[in-house]
Amino acid sequence: MLRYLARKLLWTAPVLFAATTCAFLVLHLIPGDPVNLMLSGRPASEKVRENLRAKLGLNRPLPEQYAHFVLHAARGDFGQSFATGQPVSQVIAQQLPASLQLAGSGFLIGVAGGLLLGIAAGLYPNTVIDGIAMFIALVGISMPGYWTAMLLIYVFGLRLGWVPIVGSGLPVLILPSIVFGSYAIGNLARLVRSSIIDVRGEDYIRTARAKGLPERRVVLRHALRNALFPVVAMMGLLLGLFIGGGVITETVFARQGVGALLVTSILTKDYPVVQALILLTTAAYVFANVLVDLLYGVLDPRVRYG
Amino acid sequence: MSKMRDGRLSRRSLLGGAAAAALAGSALSELVSEASAQGRADAAVTWGEDQDYATLDPRVTQSRHEAQAIMQMFESLLFLDTDGKFYPWLAQRWEYSKDGKSIMFVLRRDVKFHDGTPFNAEAVKFTFDTIVDPKLGSQGAIDFLGPYKSTDVLGPYTVRVNWTEPFAAALTNLSNPWLLSIVSPTAVRRLGNDGFARNPVGTGPFKFVEWVPRVRVVMERNEEYRWAPRVFRRQGPAALRRLVIRIIPDATTRVAALEKGEIDVCDQVPPIEVRRFQGSRDFDVMVGDVSGIPLSHLINTQAPPTNDLRVRQAYMYAINRPQVVQQVFFGVAKPAYGPITPTTPGYWPGVEKMYPYDPAKARQLLDEAGWKVGSGGIREKNGRPLEIHFITLLEPDLEVAVQAAAKEVGIKLNVETVTKAKQDEMVMHAQYNIGEIRWVAVDPSVLDIPFFSRNIPAPGKFKFNWSRYGSPELDRLLRQADGQVDVKQRQQTLAQIQKYVLDRALMFPVHVSAQPIGFRRIVRNLKFAQGYWQVLFYEATVS
Amino acid sequence: MVREPVAVPAHLAGAPPRRILARLARTRRYPIATLAALVLLLIAVAAVLAPAVSPYDPSAMATGPPLAPPGATHPFGTDRYGRDVLSRIVYGARISMPVGLLAVSFSAVLGSFLGLATGFLGGRVDAIGSGAIDIMLGFPPIMLALLIIAVLGVGLQNVVIAVGVGGIPRFARIVRGTAISIRENVYVEAGRALGASTGRLILRHVLPNAFPPIVVLATLYIGSAILDTSSLGFLGLGVQPPTPEWGTMLSEGREFMRYAPWLMFFPGMMVFVTVVAINLVGDHLRTALDPRLRAR
C-alpha cells in the first residue's frame, strides 16, 4: 500500500507541472494587455503603462517570466496579484474560508439529503416513496444551480423574508449550501439506492431473513456500509469541485469565495492569481482522487493495491 | 452654466429634504440642516460599494470607487465644490505666475496627519515628487500632474509647483481630493509604498482603521480635525464616529442589504429600484449627473461604411435619445448631446440643438450616400448590406435598444458584446465601426483623450481616439484649451472643440452617466463631491 | 454547474448495436421515458418551426408594455424592452438544443479518438495519452470553459468548444477502457494474427463495442452541456444578447427579479424541463442497455 501511495504521489508531480505550464501558456494566449485591464478603461498615459509593466515584470521576455514563475511557485511564492498588489497566497487565503464553509455545509446537506432519500428509496423500491425520492433526486441533478438559487432568493429572501441574503454568519449560508448540495443529493441518492438494492440480494441477507432476524436492521447496517463508498467518492469529487462548483453559487449569491475570485481573475488577466488557482484546483482534484483510493482500502479490506 | 444650475435646482426639490441639505445654498436646505445637524454623536454609517478595492493610496489609485474611501481620509490643496468654485483647503492662498507655468501656495499651519506628522511644504513636495517616481507605479495622479517639473519649498509653509508649460487644468487637478491629496511622508517612509497602500495616512476627517480586501474598509472619526473647507457648515470633527465601506458588487444584493438595514447608503442603485425608493417612507435617492464624458459612441472614421460622414450623421439622426434613455434607465439618466456633460466646466449648450431625432433626415442622408433600401428593410450599396459593427462592453442593454432604432432607418447594427481584453485587441487593430466610452472627470481637458491625434490606437498601443480622426486643427484647439489659464478664453475654445467634434460626427453622445445613491432617510447631509460620483461623509449625520 | 454524468458500468461495453435496438423495443412499457422523449420532441419541433409557432418576432421591441406580467397576449410576459418572452424562449430552443448536441458531439468524437488511440495502441501512446487525460480531468470543466472563453472570446462557436472540451477526457476514459478490454479479446487477437490492419480492427471490432457506452454517456452529457451553456450565458460569457439563449435571458432577468419574476422563471423552467427529459431518456437508455439493471 505504501508503494502504491508513493507511486500515486509521484504521478501527481508531472500532472501538476503540466497543468501549470498549460495555465501559463493559455493565460498568455488570452488577448489583451493586463496593464490595460488593470486600468479598467481609464485613460492613462503611456508613462503610466510603462511604469506598471516594469513594476509587474511584464516587460521581460516570456521564457524569463515563465522561469521566474516556476522557480517561485516551487517555493510556494506565487507573486503579487496584479489587481490588489497583495501576495497571491494571501488573496487566496482570504477567499478560502468562505469557499470551504460553502463546500462543507453543502457537502453536509448533500450527504444527509442523499443518504435519507437513497435509504428510503432502497428500502421500499418501486413504491410511492421510491418514486418521490427518485423524483427529488432527478430534480436535484437537473436543476440549473443558478435557477435554484434565484428561486430560493425570490421565495425565501424577497417574498417571505425568512433568510437574510447578505451579511455573515450561519443564516446567510443556508440557501447557498442548499444550492451547492442539491447536486450531491441527487447523485448520492441514486447511488445509495442501488447499493441497498444490491445488498438485499446478497446471500447473507437471505440467511438473516431465514433466521428470522429483523431484515430492515440487517439491511440497513450492511447497506450503510456499502453506501459509504459513494459518499467517499462524492467527498473527493466535491473537494476537487469546491472551486469550480462555487463559481455559479458564489456569483448568484454575491458571496466571497475562490470561484468568484477565479472568474474575475480570468477576466482581468490577473495572471498570478489564475496560475495559483489552477495549480490549487488541480492539486485538490488529484489529491482528492488519491485520498478516495486510500479510503476505499481502509473501508474495504478486499481492495488491494497492486 | 445658469441653465445647468436650474436643472439641478429642480431635481433638488424633487428629491426632498436630505438631498437638498446635501446641496448647500437655498434657504430651505439651511432650515432642514439646522434641525438635523446635530444627530447622534456616536453614529456609524455603512456605505455599500459596487467595486472591489486594490489600493488606498491616492498617489497610486485610478479608480473612482477607491476614491470613495480615499477622499474621506485625504485632502488636497484646494477644494472645488460642485458649484465650480475653488475654496482654500490645505492651502490658504494661491497665485499663478505670470507665464502660467507655476503656482505658489501658502499652506495652513495647523494641520496634522493622522500619525501626528505635521503637514507642511515638505509633505507637499514629497507627495508630488514620489508621484512621478516610476517605482511607485502611479496610475492616475501622475497624469493629473500634467507636465509637472518640480516643487520648490520656499518656506516651511510655502511651496511653488512648476510645470514645463502652461497647464490650465492645474487648479482643478490640484483640488482633486483622491488623486493629488497630500500623504504623510513619515508614514510612506516607514511602511514603504505597498505598505502605505494598505495603511493610508492622510489629514482628512476620517482615519483609517482596517481594510479586509473584498469585504470592507473601516474608518473612524479624526478627533483632531479642525480644518474643514468653509463650504461646509460643519467645523471641527465629523459627526459620524465610524464610517464603513462594504464591498457588495452585485446590485440586487446591495439594494437588498440597504432595505434590510445592513448598509445605510448604497451606490449605483439600479434605475428600476430608484422609483420605488423615491416613493418610500424610509428611503430616498439622490441622483448625481456625473461630470466628464457621457456614455458615448465613438465612430470609426477610417473603416467603411462609417468613413462616410453622411452615414455617421444618419446614425446620429436616427436614434431618439430621450426615448431610448427613458426606456433603459426609467428616467433616472438624462440624454446627452455633447462630448462633455452639462455638469462639466466649459459645457457648451449649443450641442443640444445639433442632432435632434430626425429619421427622415437620416433616410435622406443614406439615400444621398447611395445606400438604397434592400430586402428586409436593410439598405444596400453595390450588393453589400449597410452593416455597422458595434462593440459593446459597458452597456449592452442600451445598445440593444439603439440597435432597434438603427434598424428603423435601414442600418443593420451588429452589436457584439466583448470582454475588456477582447475590446482592447479589436480597438488596437481597428476591427470595429463603433465603440463605447464614458469617464468621470472634472476638468474639460478630458477631451484630449478621445480626440487628440496622438491618441489614435495602433497595434500594441491601446489609446482612446477610437474615431481615428486626427486633424491639425483639432489638435491645435485642444492644445490651446489646455494652456488657457483664463477661464473665459478657455470656454470659447472649448465650445469650438465641442462643435467641431459633432460637426464631423466623430462621437454620438447618448446619456449622462447617473449615480443614483440610495440611502435611509435617517442619514442626513450627504454631499456629492466634485464630479457627482462620490459622496463626502464629513457632514453626514444620523437622526 | 459542474456535473459528472453517472459513470457507465463497464460491463455495458460489448453489446452489439443490433441488440441495443431490440432491448429498447422491449422496454417500451416505461411511460415516463416515453413522455420525456415526447417532451424533447416537442421542444425540438418548436425550435425548428419557431418562426411559425412563436407569436412575435423574438427581437421586436415594444410588442407590448415593458415588464408586462404573463397574460392573454403575452403568456410568459414581456421583458424590459417589451419583447415577448414566450417567443424568445421558443427561439432560445434553437440555441440551447443544438449547442448542447454540438458540444457533446465535439467531446464524443475527440474523446473517442483519444480513447481508441490510447487504449488500442497501448505502449508509449497510451502512457502519454493517459497522462493527457489525467491532466485534463484535473481541470474542473468550468475552469476549462472559462479559460477557453477567455482565450477565444464570447460567442456561439466558442461556447460549443468551451463546453465540449470538458467532456473530452470523460469520453476518452470510457472508450479507452473498452478498447483495452477488447484488445485482449480472442477475436481481435485472431484478426491480428490473420493480418488485419489496426484501422480495420478498430472499425470492425472496437467501435461497435464501444458504441453503447458512448451513446449512454452522450445522452447523459447533453443535459449537462445544456446546463453548462446556460451557466456560461448566465455569467455573461456565453451566447450574447440580444440572441435569446435561455441562460443569457435569465441573467438579463436577474435585475428585475423583484418586479418581473417571470423573466427568470420561464427560461430557467425551460432549461430544467429539457434537462430532466434528457436525463430520463438517458436513464432509460442505460437501464435498457444494462442487463444487470434490467434483471431487477
Measured between beta carbons, the chain A residues lying within 8 angstroms of C150 are 30, 266-267, 269
In chain B, where does the domain assigned CATH 3.40.190.10 lie?
15-22+40-288+515-542
Cell of B5: 444650475
Q: Rounded to a whole number, what is the distance in Å from the CA of B194 to chain A's nearest CA?
A: 8
Q: Which of B85, B13, B525, B3 is nearest to B278 (CA)?
A: B13
Q: Which of B239, B263, B285 is nearest to B542 (CA)?
A: B239
Contact call for B404 and C81, based on CB within 8 A: yes
Chains with ≥3 CB–CB distances under 8 Å to B:
A, C
Cell of A233: 467518492
Report the pLDDT averaged over residues B483-507.
94
pLDDT of B253: 81
| DSSP track, C173-217 | HHHHHHHHHHHTSHHHHHHHHTT--HHHHIIIIIHHHHHHHHHHH
Among A29, A38, A51, pick the best mutation site for testing chain B contact (most B Cβ within 10 A): A51
Rounded Cα distance, B249 and B515, in Å: 15
Among B326, B400, B425, B429, pick the best mutation site for testing chain C contact (most C Cβ within 10 A): B400
Say yes or no: C153 contacts chain B, CB-CB below 8 A: yes
Question: Chain C residues contacting A, CB < 8 Å?
Answer: 1-4, 6, 131, 134-135, 137-143, 146-147, 150-151, 153, 223, 227, 230-231, 234-235, 247, 250, 254, 257-258, 261, 264-265, 268-269, 271-272, 275-276, 279-280, 296
Say yes or no: B421 contacts chain C, CB-CB below 8 A: yes
Name the residue facing C143 among A237, A281, A286 (closest C-beta).
A281
More confidently predicted of A229 and B458: B458
pLDDT digits (tens, 9 = 90+) for C97-150: 898 899 999 999 999 888 888 887 777 888 888 878 877 776 777 778 888 887
Measured between beta carbons, the chain B residues lying within 8 angstroms of A262 are none
Measured between beta carbons, the chain C residues lying within 8 angstroms of A26 are 147, 151
Rounded Cα distance, A47 and A13, in Å: 42
Percent of chain B with pLDDT over 70: 92
Say yes or no: C272 contacts chain B, CB-CB below 8 A: no
Percent of chain B with pLDDT over 90: 65
The CA-based angle C232-B54-B528, given to 5 degrees, is: 100
Say yes or no: B439 contacts chain A, CB-CB below 8 A: yes
Residues of B (171-200) whose Cβ lies below 8 Å from C:
none
Rounded Cα distance, C251 and B354, in Å: 37
Chain C residue nearest residue A251, CA to CA: C235
pLDDT of B261: 86
- B292-512, superfamily in CATH? Dipeptide-binding Protein; Domain 3 (3.10.105.10)
The terminus-to-terminus CA distance of chain B in angstroms comes to 35
More confidently predicted of B525 and A297: B525
Strand partners, C109: none
Rounded Cα distance, B204 and B222, in Å: 7
pLDDT digits (tens, 9 = 90+) for B358-417: 999 999 999 999 999 988 889 999 989 999 999 988 888 888 889 888 999 999 998 887
Say whether the ipTM exceeds 0.90.
Answer: no
Fold of B15-22+40-288+515-542: D-Maltodextrin-Binding Protein; domain 2 (3.40.190)
Rounded Cα distance, B531 and B336, in Å: 16
3-state secondary structure of B187: helix
Measured between beta carbons, the chain A residues lying within 8 angstroms of C247 are 144, 146
More confidently predicted of A191 and B469: B469
pLDDT of A227: 65
Chain B residue nearest residue C152, CA to CA: B422
pLDDT of B91: 96
Contact call for A42 and B140, based on CB within 8 A: yes
- Preceding amide of B305 cis, omega within 30: yes
Contact call for B419 and C259, based on CB within 8 A: no
Given a cut of 80, is residue B123 above it in pLDDT? yes
Determine if residue A128 is left, alpha or beta; phi over 0 gives left, psi from -120 to 50 gives alpha, anything else beta.
alpha
Chain C residue nearest residue A283, CA to CA: C138
Chain C residue nearest residue B414, CA to CA: C242
Given a cut of 60, is residue B10 above it in pLDDT? no
Q: Please report where in the chains the cell 480597438 appears, as a residue.
A: B427
HEC assignment per residue over chain A? CHHHHHHHHHHHHHHHHHHHHHHHHHHHHCCCCHHHHHCCCCCCCHHHHHHHHHHHCCCCCHHHHHHHHHHHHHCCCCCECCCCCCEHHHHHHHHHHHHHHHHHHHHHHHHHHHHHHHHHHHHCCCCHHHHHHHHHHHHHHHCCHHHHHHHHHHHHHHHCCCCCCCCCCHHHHHHHHHHHHHHHHHHHHHHHHHHHHHHHCCHHHHHHHHCCCCHHHHHHHHHHHHHHHHHHHHHHHHHHHCCHHHHHHHHHCCCCCHHHHHHHHHHCCCHHHHHHHHHHHHHHHHHHHHHHHHHHHHHCCCCCCC
The DSSP bridge pattern shows strands B535-536 and B507-511 to be unpaired
Measured between beta carbons, the chain C residues lying within 8 angstroms of B251 are 255
pLDDT digits (tens, 9 = 90+) for B331-367: 899 999 999 999 999 999 999 999 999 999 999 999 9
Given a cut of 60, is residue C223 above it in pLDDT? yes
pLDDT of A185: 85
pLDDT digits (tens, 9 = 90+) for B274-321: 988 888 899 999 999 999 999 999 999 999 999 999 999 999 999 999
Given a cut of 70, is residue B201 above it in pLDDT? yes
The DSSP bridge pattern shows strands B91-96 and B283-289 to be unpaired
Contact call for C6 and A187, based on CB within 8 A: yes
Asked whether the beta carbons of B94 and B78 are under 8 A apart, the reply is yes
Say yes or no: B444 contacts chain A, CB-CB below 8 A: no
Measured between beta carbons, the chain B residues lying within 8 angstroms of C258 are 252
Rounded Cα distance, C227 and B128, in Å: 54
Query: C207-234 vs C141-152: helix axis angle to the nearest 10?
Result: 70
Dihedral of the alpha carbons of C82, C85, C86, C92, in degrees to the nearest 10: 130
Q: Which of A154, A230, A153 is nearest to A198 (CA)?
A: A230
Say yes or no: A41 contacts chain B, CB-CB below 8 A: yes
Among A224-228, B250-254, C200-204, the range scoring the smallest mean pLDDT is: A224-228
pLDDT digits (tens, 9 = 90+) for B82-111: 777 899 999 999 999 988 899 999 999 999
Rounded Cα distance, C69 and C76, in Å: 7
Q: List Cβ neighbours of C137 (8 Å cut-off, separation of 6 or more).
A: A285, C169, C170, C173
- Please report which confidence band the pLDDT of residue C290 belongs to, taking 50, 70 and 90 as the band edges: low
φ, ψ dihedrals at B295, nearest 5°: -65, 115
Asked whether the beta carbons of B107 and B90 are under 8 A apart, the reply is yes
pLDDT digits (tens, 9 = 90+) for B27-66: 333 333 444 445 566 789 999 998 888 899 999 998 889 9
Given a cut of 80, is residue C58 above it in pLDDT? yes
pLDDT digits (tens, 9 = 90+) for A174-185: 888 888 888 778
Domains and CATH numbers, chain A: 96-299 (1.10.3720.10)
pLDDT of A25: 82
Positions of chain A with pLDDT under 70: 1, 31-32, 41, 165-169, 203-205, 209, 213, 215-216, 219, 223, 226-227, 230-231, 233-245, 296, 299-306
Spell out a b/e string for B258-279, using b for 16 or more CB atoms within 10 Å of the CB, else e: bbeebbbbbbbbbbbbbebbbe
Chains with ≥3 CB–CB distances under 8 Å to A:
B, C
Highest mean pLDDT among A201-205, B190-194, B457-461: B190-194
Residue positions counted in chain A: 306
Asked whether the beta carbons of A113 and A185 are under 8 A apart, the reply is yes
Q: Which of A144, A281, A95 is nearest to C231 (CA)?
A: A144
- Please report which confidence band the pLDDT of residue B251 belongs to, taking 50, 70 and 90 as the band edges: confident
Given a cut of 70, is residue C12 above it in pLDDT? no
pLDDT of C29: 55
Domains and CATH numbers, chain C: 85-295 (1.10.3720.10)
pLDDT of A306: 40
Q: Rounded to a whole number, what is the distance in Å from the CA of B283 to chain C's nearest CA?
A: 17
Q: Rounded to a whole number, what is the distance in Å from the CA of B256 to chain C's nearest CA?
A: 10
**Distance set, CA A254 to CA A172, A251, A260, B476, C264 (Å):** 11, 5, 8, 49, 17
Contact call for A44 and B215, based on CB within 8 A: no
| DSSP track, B58-110 | TTT---HHHHHHHHHH---SEEE-TTS-EEESSEEEEEE-TTSSEEEEEEPSS
Q: Which of B347, B352, B353 is nearest to B492 (CA)?
A: B347
Say yes or no: B429 contacts chain C, CB-CB below 8 A: no
Give the rounded distance of the alpha carbon of B156 from its chain centre. Answer: 34
**Distance set, CA A240 to CA A217, A233, C166 (Å):** 34, 11, 15
Chains with ≥3 CB–CB distances under 8 Å to C:
A, B
Say yes or no: A30 contacts chain B, CB-CB below 8 A: yes
Which residues in chain C belong to E strands, given as ranges? none
pLDDT of A230: 64
pLDDT of C26: 54
**Distance set, CA A94 to CA A90, A152, B69, C261 (Å):** 6, 27, 21, 34
Report the pLDDT averaged over residues B257-273.
90
Contact call for A36 and B462, based on CB within 8 A: yes
In chain B, where does the domain assigned CATH 3.10.105.10 lie?
292-512
Percent of chain C with pLDDT over 70: 86
